[in-house]
Amino acid sequence: MVGFQRRYAAVTREAMRRVAEKGPVTLAVTTFNKQMLGGNREFTTTLWNDVCHVVDLLRYMAGGEPVEVTAHRDTFDAEQRNFYTAFVRFDNNVTGVLFGSRASGGRVLRSELHGVGIGCYMKIPEEIEIYEDNNRSVMGGWEVDGVDQRDTPNYEGVLTMHRHFVECVRNRQVPLTDLRDVINSIRFVDQIEGPLPD
């Protein structure tokens, strides 16, 4: 199992459930921004060690494999790439959009999932805003899982992921983020990264 915990956040799970009820998924969007400027040279790029989490989330929410990827990579006030955008078409006709910037003003982790007659807008892990048939509702991540608002570990995804792993071991089941599945997310990361500059 691989620790792509964004799949397990309560707001992500609720969006997946709500959109599946209306079906099919039409659009998935992920955004993961931070500020990491200057001389922060790392062994690899931020796409591989950080933004990869929302690349996996995009693929997971879309429910298919990327067949067309148009990606842009840039470097702003840094020693290596720190800005990624991608427009993606998946094999199930879902459109995906990815934003990953380390040249922004601070940390923002958000996603969107759209179906026919429904749109879910997530601030991960704290909130999901749902528009369904022109009606709006908002839920906290804690409300989705029925826990105390201060108990962030119980709805932000990491604890849920670990519980899922233990249950899979006990019941001899394949985990949601099984390495064989995640290999496809890593191929997707590689498509977005493209060749590294000399």
pLDDT in tens, 107-146: 999 999 999 999 999 999 999 999 999 999 999 999 999 9
- What per-residue confidence (pLDDT) applies to 196? 75
Q: What mean pLDDT comes out for the span 8-13? A: 97
101 occurs within a structural domain: yes
Q: Count the domains in the chain.
A: 1
- d(CA 181, CA 56) in angstroms, rounded, equals 10
**152 within domain boundaries:** yes
pTM over 0.85: yes
% of the chain exceeding 70 in pLDDT: 97
Average pLDDT over residues 160-186: 96
- Three-state secondary structure readout of 71-95: EEEECCCECCCCEEEEEEEECCCCE
Both tokens of residue 86? Answer: 């991608």
For the CA atoms of 7, 137, 101, 2, the dihedral, rounded to the nearest 10 degrees, stands at 0
How sure is the predictor about 198, in pLDDT bands with cuts at 50, 70 and 90?
Answer: low
Other Cβ atoms within 10 Å of 94 Cβ, number: 23
Residue 193 has pLDDT above 90, yes or no: yes
Instruction: Determine, yes or no, domain membership for 51.
Output: yes
Q: What is the mean pLDDT of the chain?
A: 94
The pLDDT, as a whole number, for residue 40 is 63
pLDDT higher than 80, residue 57: yes
What's the pLDDT score for residue 38?
77
Is 25 inside a domain boundary? yes
Determine, yes or no, domain membership for 198. Answer: no
At residue 42, does pLDDT exceed 80?
no
Q: What is the pLDDT, as a whole number, of residue 43? A: 62
CA nearest 55: which of 24, 17, 88, 80?
Answer: 88
- Parent domain of 144: 5-189
Closest CA to 29 of 147, 124, 158: 124
Confidence label for 45 from pLDDT (cuts 50, 70 and 90): confident
Residue 80 lies in a domain: yes
What integer is the mean pLDDT of 84-103? Answer: 97
- Read off the pLDDT of each residue in 11-33 and give the average, rounded to a whole number: 96
pLDDT value, residue 1: 93
**Is 197 contained in some domain?**
no
pLDDT reported for residue 130: 98
CATH of the domain at 171: 3.30.360.10
Pairing state between β 66-74 and 127-132: unpaired
What pLDDT is attached to residue 80?
A: 84
Is residue 55 in a domain?
yes
- Write down the pLDDT at residue 36: 83
More confident residue, 31 or 42: 31
